[in-house]
Amino acid sequence: MSDPASQLKKGVLEILVLHLLSRRNLYGYQLISELDERSDGYFKLKEGTLYPVLYRLEDSGLVESYWEQDTGKRGVRRKYYRITAAGRAWLREMTGELALFYHSIYKIMGDEN
For residue 105, the model assigns a pLDDT of 92
- Give yes or no for residue 113 having a pLDDT over 60: no
The least confident of 32-36, 70-74, 82-86 is 70-74
Pairing state between β 77-83 and 63-69: antiparallel
**The CATH number of the domain covering residues in 4-112:** 1.10.10.10
pTM, rounded to two decimals: 0.87
CB 50 within 8 A of CB 36: no
The tens digit of pLDDT for each residue in 85-110 reads 999 999 999 999 999 999 999 999 98
- For 38-54, give one letter per residue: b (16+ CB within 10 A) or e: eeeeebebeeebbeebb
Residue 83: what pLDDT?
Answer: 98
Q: What is the pLDDT of residue 73?
A: 77
> How far is C-alpha 82 from the geometric centre of its chain's CA atoms?
12
* Residue 25, helix vs strand vs coil: coil
